[in-house]
């Protein structure tokens, strides 16, 4: 693992996360009761527009019950559980953070989905899978943490079947300097953003062809505006949010992300591609 990857893992180290999440969930439902994917959505969808964005991306990727899915950089597993619960498919989640994988496994058991969703610690640049092991790969808000983008897309191509699908939803660089900290990095040393054009070139060089390529920046801005207009205390379970996962300064990181978007420093890109 490179020094950069180690620093990224530290950013998501999430000390005692499963314990903190158990405490936050105790206010919602007793520990011996099952949880639903919808109940967990404010907590476990670690990207702009949360479960709405996941639902849009998976629908564009045309997942079926027989599709073998890898959710790469799966966080605490919200998108993976959504996929399995919605389509009945089997999903493997891989993430750098052992704390995230522990929590993902716990929450998946609470949702009764352990038979269809499994998680393991791993680095996206060295995946522990055979060539062509998956039909579809999801990558949501992860690429900006990966320094060697060519290696990342090359590794995804390797583990996909021919004509397999790669669905990605990530930040891209627009103009000017990014204001830090942001949810994926406290400073520029673990943030590796590319422009939309550079992203497309890297994907095409790796052997992918776009079937969907969409600038979602305005949709993201509208979502932030609506979220900021709503009162957090009016949420059904105000204690369930990504601050539990990332700590008390998560609100400041999110505010900087919204600022970077509104000042045209960053943009949001959704894409679905096929492997040649």
Q: Does 78 bind ligand SAM (CB under 6 A)?
A: yes
Longest CA span, the chain: 50
Give the per-residue contact string, 180-219, with ligand SAM (x = CB under 6 A; - = no).
Answer: ---xx-----------------------------------
How far is the C-alpha of 219 from the C-alpha of 217, rounded, in Å?
5
Q: Does 102 bind ligand SAM (CB under 6 A)?
A: no
Q: How far is the CB of 115 from ligand SAM (least distance, A)?
A: 21
Element (H, E) at 139: strand 134-140
Q: From the list 140, 191, 199, 256, which residue makes contact with ligand SAM (rule: CB under 6 A)?
A: 140
Total number of residues shown for the chain = 276
Residue nearest to ligand SAM (CB): 75
CB contact burial 139-156 (16+ within 10 A = b; e otherwise):
bbbbbbbbeebeebbebb
How far is the C-alpha of 165 from the C-alpha of 125, rounded, in Å?
18
Size of the site for ligand SAM (CB under 6 A): 26
Q: Does 67 bind ligand SAM (CB under 6 A)?
A: no
Query: Which among 274, 227, 172 has a CA at the least distance from the CA of 52?
Result: 227
Q: Does 56 bind ligand SAM (CB under 6 A)?
A: no
| C-alpha 205: how far from chain center | 23
| Binding-site ranges for ligand SAM (CB under 6 A) | 5, 8, 12, 45-47, 73-75, 78-79, 94-97, 100, 123-125, 140-142, 145-146, 183-184
């Amino acid at each position: 693992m490179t020094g950069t990857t180690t620093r990224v893992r530290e950013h998501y180290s999430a000390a005692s996360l499963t314990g903190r999440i158990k405490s936050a969930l105790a206010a919602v439902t007793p520990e011996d009761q099952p949880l639903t994917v919808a109940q967990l959505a404010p907590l476990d969808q670690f990207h702009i527009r949360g479960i709405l964005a996941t639902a849009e991306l998976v629908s564009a990727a045309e997942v079926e019950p027989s599709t073998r899915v890898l959710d790469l950089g799966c966080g605490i597993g919200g998108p993976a559980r959504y996929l399995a619960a919605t389509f009945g498919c089997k999903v493997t989640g891989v993430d750098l953070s052992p704390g995230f994988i522990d929590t993902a496994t716990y929450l998946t058991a609470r949702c009764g989905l352990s038979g269809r969703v499994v998680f393991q610690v791993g680095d996206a640049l060295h995946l522990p899978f055979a060539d062509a092991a998956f039909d579809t790969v999801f990558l949501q808000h992860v690429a900006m943490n990966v320094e060697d983008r060519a290696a990342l897309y090359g590794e995804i191509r390797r583990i996909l079947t021919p004509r397999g699908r790669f669905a990605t939803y990530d930040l891209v660089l627009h103009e000017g300097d990014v204001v830090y900290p942001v949810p994926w990095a406290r400073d520029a040393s673990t943030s590796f953003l590319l422009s939309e054009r550079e992203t497309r070139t890297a994907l095409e060089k790796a052997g992918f062809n776009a079937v969907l390529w969409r600038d979602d920046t305005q949709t993201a801005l509208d979502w932030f505006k609506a979220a900021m207009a709503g009162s957090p205390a009016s949420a059904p379970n105000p204690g369930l949010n990504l601050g539990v996962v990332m700590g008390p300064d998560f609100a400041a990181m999110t505010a900087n992300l919204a600022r970077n978007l509104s000042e045209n420093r960053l943009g949001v890109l959704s894409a679905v591609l096929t492997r040649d």
